[in-house]
Amino acid sequence: MAKTVKLGILFVYVILLFASCKEVPVTERKQLILIPESGEMKLGEDAFRKIIKESKLSNNRDIVDKVKKVGSRIAKASNRTHYKWEFIVIEDDSTANAFCLPGGKIGIYTGILPYTKDEKGLAAVIGHEVGHAIARHGAERMSTALLAQAGQIALNLIVDVDDPMVLDALNRAYGLGTEIGVILPFSRKQELEADRIGVSLMDKAEYNAIGALEFWKRMKQGRQGKQPLVYLSTHPVDDKRIAEIEKLLQIKK
């Protein structure tokens, strides 16, 4: 009997693995995702409402309108029509950061605006964050973690996304605790992949992709002699990221 149960569990895992193989947009990398997109989007919506409630939103109409304008163009280029796109600007000059939660919830901290400078730079930031979202990097990371844990958690996730234990796992995977409020930093491989997707989205949205290279160079300069900027912590080293974007721009020529 025990052997039969084990074989049954193994069979379920094999089915899940085959049924959950996805392909990243642009890069076409194969990935494993066990999280239903509907549940992922619900988490993003809930977290976004919490962030809005706990943050000071900018009332600078010019900045907010520019973020919405650029964001809308990038969002359209992503071809995710089922996402409910929203854009906010958070008043925090000490935080050079941005995020895009599942389902298209985008936040820009005012601290990153000196580095974006213009619409091209802003498109680079938003394109990068949207790249994470449409590649479902957070769901991929959590799926990998779930596979390393008890099978029951993974199965509960597939069956019932409202399970408190599952929601807690989702929150940890996305780094959506109150003390963080943004997506957990991704792996270096995913960061470079988001850069590549972001450049592609900029191109589709008719923004000069050179703006991505200029933006990251400004971010590198901003790090000199200072503590690492939040936006770059746990990310690829500056020179590596810049070199990879330069390669992408050479391919485009």
Q: Which of 40, 86, 129, 244 is catalytic?
A: 129
- DSSP structure string for 68-129: HHHHHHHHHHHT-TTS--EEEEE--TT---EEEETTTEEEEEGGGHHHHTTHHHHHHHHHHH
Q: Are 157 and 42 in contact (CB under 8 A)?
A: no
Alpha-helix residue ranges (DSSP H) falling in the chain: 2-19, 37-54, 61-78, 113-116, 119-135, 137-147, 151-159, 164-174, 188-204, 210-223, 238-252
Q: Name the 3-class secondary structure at 228.
A: coil
End-to-end CA distance of the chain: 63
Neighbouring CB atoms inside 10 A of 64's CB total 16
Cα 80 to Cα 68: distance, rounded to the nearest angstrom: 16
Give yes or no: 129 in active site.
yes
Q: Name the 3-class secondary structure at 227.
A: coil
Residues annotated catalytic, as ranges: 129
